[in-house]
């Protein structure tokens, strides 16, 4: 234990003396920032693509027709049940083993041969499985009264989904979706294993040249924390926007326009 304290204080001393670590920070910080940009692109793109894929998957999943629900069921089972690293390697190193894929022209040269797009494909597939499952739960959690009200207004099945059920489900999954995006942010560090210079890739590059592993991993961890904080703030904002009704409950009855204030409303709020 005392050894640890001595070593830690020695390490702190080297930070204050001499230019050595600071030179390295100055040289590699811009590369880390380039890495942050790549990491953000990976998370945002796969977050959006994954979401767009998740909606039809969830709708098929809740269908009672076996022809419709079998595919999303297997899809979700596979992508939730295997490690993200395995999925990345399957997309990047696995697909490239097939000779015929390499003769597909631009699909190979511009997409599948690029580590960037392989990472986006793997992350989108992975996250869409999780979001689809969130969505399924949310659709089933939309209060029955609201769909009944929509039916009473004479809405068709399609209109009900478009105007009532899906928007409500979106509000319900928002907190969990934010959670999933944060998990994705941390999972995106695995992109460095397929040569991509995301934040983690740039960090490992810097360590391989400077051997300042403790310093650069601490720095990278700190940057990931900041990115997470930004994402948390962003989703808070979205929640306020889409789940405004949850805040509305706090409204004091007394502040309401006296004209719309009646016995019935007072009872319902109380």
Partner 1 sequence: MQKTKRFAMSLALVASSALMATSVTADTIRIATEGAYAPFNFIDSSGQPGGFDVEIANALCEQMQATCEIVTQDWDGIIPGLRARRYDAIIASMSITEERERVVAFTEPYYSNVLAFVGPKGTEMPTDADSLKGKTLGAQRATIAGQYLEDTLGSVVNVRLYDTQDNAYLDLASGRLDGMVSDKFPAYDWLTSEAGSAFEFKGEDIDIDDKIGIAVRQNDTELKERFNAAIQAIVENGTYAEINAKYFPFSIY
Structure token pair of residue 175: 């907190």
Binding mask 158-177 for partner 1 (x = CB under 8 A): --------------------
Backbone angles phi, psi at 154, to 5 degrees: 85, 20
**Which lies closer to partner 1 via its Cβ, residue 141 or residue 214?**
214
Binding mask 18-47 for partner 1 (x = CB under 8 A): ------------------------------
Cα–Cα distance for residue pair 202/196, rounded to 1 Å: 9
Binding mask 69-108 for partner 1 (x = CB under 8 A): ------------------------x--xx----x------
193 in contact with partner 1 (CB under 8 A):
yes
Cα–Cα distance for residue pair 181/143, rounded to 1 Å: 26
Structure token pair of residue 188: 């995106």
14 in contact with partner 1 (CB under 8 A):
no
**Which lies closer to partner 1 via its Cβ, residue 210 or residue 243?**
210
Contact, 200 vs 31, CB < 8 A? no
Task: Report helix, strand or coil for 1.
Answer: coil
> In this structure, how many other beta carbons lie within 10 angstroms of the beta carbon of residue 36?
18
Residues that bind partner 1 (CB under 8 A): 93, 96-97, 102, 113, 115, 193, 195, 204-205, 207-211, 213-214
């Amino acid at each position: 234990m005392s050894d640890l304290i001595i070593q830690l204080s020695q390490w702190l001393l080297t930070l204050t003396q001499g230019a050595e670590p600071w030179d390295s920070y100055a040289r590699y910080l811009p590369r880390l920032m380039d890495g942050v940009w790549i990491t953000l692109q990976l998370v945002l793109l796969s977050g959006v693509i994954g979401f767009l894929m998740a909606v039809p998957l969830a709708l098929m999943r809740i269908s009672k027709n076996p022809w419709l629900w079998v595919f999303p069921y297997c899809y979700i089972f596979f992508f939730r049940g295997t490690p993200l690293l395995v999925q990345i390697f399957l997309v990047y190193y696995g697909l490239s083993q097939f000779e015929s894929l390499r003769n597909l022209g631009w699909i190979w040269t511009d997409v599948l041969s690029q580590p960037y797009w392989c990472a986006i494909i793997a992350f989108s597939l992975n996250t869409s499985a999780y979001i689809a499952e969130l969505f399924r739960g949310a659709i089933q959690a939309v209060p029955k009264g609201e769909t009944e009200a929509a039916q009473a207004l004479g809405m068709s099945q399609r209109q009900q989904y478009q105007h009532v059920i899906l928007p409500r489900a979106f509000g319900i999954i928002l907190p969990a979706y934010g959670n999933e995006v944060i998990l994705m942010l941390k999972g995106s560090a695995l992109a460095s294993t397929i040569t991509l210079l995301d934040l983690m890739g740039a960090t490992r590059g810097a360590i391989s040249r400077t051997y300042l592993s403790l310093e650069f991993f601490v720095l990278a961890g700190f940057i990931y924390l900041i990115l997470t904080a930004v994402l948390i703030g962003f989703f808070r904002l979205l929640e306020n926007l889409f789940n405004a009704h949850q805040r509305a409950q706090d409204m004091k009855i007394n502040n309401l326009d006296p004209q719309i204030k009646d016995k019935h409303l007072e009872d319902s709020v109380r």
